Amino acid sequence: MNTISNCLNCAHELGDKPGNYCPNCGQETALHPPTVREFAHEFIGHYVALEGRLWKTLGLLFFKPAELTREYLAGRKRRYVLPLRLYLTASLLFFFIVKFAGISGTNTMNKEGRAALDSEIAQGVGDLRKGLSAIPDLKLPATDAIDCNKDTTACTKIKAYLARKYPGMTMEQVHEQIRHKLISLAPYAAFLLLPVFALLTRVLYWRRGMLYGEHLVYALHIHAFAFFALLLLNLLPEMLVQWLLWAMFIYFFIGLQRFFHGRWWLNVIRYFIIGTIYPLAMSGVILLSLFYAVFV
For residue range 276-289, list pLDDT tens digits in order: 999 999 999 989 98
Convert the pLDDT of each residue in 171-196 to its tens digit.
788 778 888 888 888 999 999 999 99
Residue 20 in any domain: the answer is no
Distance between CA atoms of residues 129 and 1, nearest Å: 74
Residue 256 has pLDDT above 80, yes or no: yes
105-119, 211-225, 229-243: which is most confident: 211-225
Convert the pLDDT of each residue in 73-90 to its tens digit.
999 988 899 999 999 999
Residue 43 in any domain: the answer is no
Task: Write out the residue range of the structural domain in which residue 269 sits.
Answer: 106-295
Residue 62 in any domain: the answer is no
Residue 96 in any domain: the answer is no
Residue 162 in any domain: the answer is yes
pLDDT score for 113: 46
Q: What is the DSSP string of 176-245?
A: HHHHHHHHHHHHHHHHHHHHHHHHHHHHHTGGG---HHHHHHHHHHHHHHHHHHHHHHTTS-HHHHHHHH
Residue 10 in any domain: the answer is no
In this prediction, residues 49-61 reach a mean pLDDT of 81
Number of domains forming the structure of the chain: 1
pLDDT band at 151 (very low <50, low <70, confident <90, very high): low
Strands, E assignment, the chain: none
Residue 234 in any domain: the answer is yes
